[in-house]
Amino acid sequence: MAWDDARARATLRAVFDAGVAAADPRVVLARHLPAPPAGRCVVVGAGKSAAVMAAALEDAWPDAPLEGVVVTRYGHAVPTRRIEVLESSHPVPDANGEAAAHRILVAVRNLGPDDLVIALMSGGASALLPLPAPGLALADKQAVNRALLASGATIAEMNCVRKHLSAIKGGRLAAAAAPARVVTLAISDVPGDDFAIIGSGPTVPDPTTFAQARAILAKYGITPSPQVAARLVRDDDETPKPGSLPHTEARMIATPLMALRAAADTARAAGLAPLILGDALEGESRELGTIMAGIARSVRAHAEPLAPPALLLSGGETTVTIGSGPAGRGGRNTEFLLGLALALAGDSGIWAAAGDTDGIDGTEHAAGAIVTPDTLARARAAGLDPAAILAGHDSYSLFSALGDLIRTGPTLTNVNDLRAILIA
């Protein structure tokens, strides 16, 4: 069967949906639960998946006396019976997040050795737990967060700074729960599936330092407020380091690689040879688009690194560096795709899709988009200038005008971005 536009689009959407489904907490969480405790079971958590993870835990332990509170992004709450769900802002934190973080910290205090804390962590938790360290106000953290988001800093760099401005991140939540046992169940949205980076690691030891946080701000030319500067020299108040939290354990329940493998299975069923290029690709979004276009062309022209029909898969989280000029509407996946389309220059027989598995590419109401061989031609016929739009970081608007956005709504999970390039 020949690969036409309709078949390629349907296959790419099925591949993306399979990756998202593989990270659904309602499917994967129960198998990772510890034994119920002899004492209390306090559930805390944060992230875009926190509410659905809490609901999945309640379903898995229908008769257990669960208690606790989790916080998720606005619009991501689901009904629960015993665990309270709060909502706050992402990616820039707000006062509701600060109040929720305080509630969570209080919930784990005064526990004993027979008690169990189950911490449900997923992508977005850093912004949803903005509890300032002593001497800081929420506005101080908001300003640093905005500057880091616009700088092109990696998620690991952003979280290093966040930990050292926080009263709850970087292992401080786990320290407050001692001597109770703390079991973290995490959905990874970070390169390398590092527990210390997911949500800025509130329940695991932190290997980063105040000195590293200062260096990151200097690297990106970010001048902090006097209050933040004063906090970042408090080397005497370091976060708990590896080996200092013996009562804690962490388990990964969903990862980017799990999603990519599920996507690859769907590709095989559709008659494609899949190749997973990596689950932790980083870098500038548009530049990665150019690189991926080169690999796709090699497959098409030389059957290297594999023969078509093929599907190139990758995961990870790229960045969009916004300069001093005005920026339009767009996210890292649509920017990647527009960079890819420009580099392919209308090459026939190559389609692509990219999206954030949480259903929201940046702050826009779409997971991502689809590129077709005639994307550039259709855009120009509509009076759009793809190169100028990419320069203005307005990729969302282009794909919206073409009707090529992938819209899922909040998926209530998050294992980072999933990119798929189909070569017929």
pLDDT of 40: 97
Q: Would the pLDDT of 328 be above 80?
A: no
Q: Which residues contact 388 (CB under 8 A, 6 or more apart)?
A: none
pLDDT(394) > 70 = yes
Mean pLDDT of 302-314: 97
Contacts 24+ apart (CB under 8 A), 78-86: 78/51, 78/52, 78/412, 79/55, 80/51, 80/54, 80/55, 82/58, 83/43, 83/54, 83/57, 83/58, 85/50, 85/51, 85/54
Return the pLDDT at 355.
97
Q: Does residue 122 surpass a pLDDT of 70?
A: yes
Integer distance in angstroms from the first to the last C-alpha of the chain? 11
Q: What topology does CATH give the domain 5-21+257-423?
A: glycerate kinase, domain 1 (3.40.1480)
- Does the pLDDT of residue 326 top 80, yes or no? no
User: Which residues partner with 186 through β-bridges?
Assistant: 121, 252
What pLDDT shows up at residue 327?
66
Same-fold call for 5-21+257-423 versus 25-254: no
d(CA 78, CA 137): 30
Rounded Cα distance between 136 and 186, Å, is: 28
Parse the chain into domains and list their residue ranges: 5-21+257-423, 25-254
DSSP state of 279: S
Stated pTM of the model: 0.84
pLDDT at 364 over 90: no
**Average confidence score pLDDT of the chain:** 94
- Confidence at 110, pLDDT banded by 50, 70, 90: very high
Position 317 pLDDT exceeds 90: no
Q: Which residues contact 125 (CB under 8 A, 6 or more apart)?
A: 45, 46, 47, 50, 198, 199, 200, 202
Tens of pLDDT, residue by residue over 137-177, are 999 988 998 999 889 888 889 989 999 999 999 999 999 99
Q: What is the mean pLDDT of residues 327-333?
A: 83
The Cα–Cα gap between 16 and 8 comes to 12
25-254: CATH superfamily: Glycerate kinase, MOFRL-like N-terminal domain (3.40.50.10180)
Where does the pLDDT of residue 325 fall: very low under 50, low under 70, confident under 90, or very high at 90 and above? low
Q: How far apart are CA 93 and CA 129, in angstroms?
A: 8
Share of the chain above pLDDT 70, in %: 98
pLDDT of residue 324: 59
Closest CA to 365 of 402, 410, 334, 327: 410
Question: pLDDT tens, 212-249?
Answer: 999 999 999 999 999 999 999 999 999 999 999 999 99
| Rounded Cα–Cα distance for residues 398 and 378 (Å) | 10
Prior bond to 226 cis, omega within 30? no
Pairing of strands 417-423, 310-316: antiparallel
Average pLDDT, integer, range 330-341: 95
| Region 92-114 average pLDDT | 96
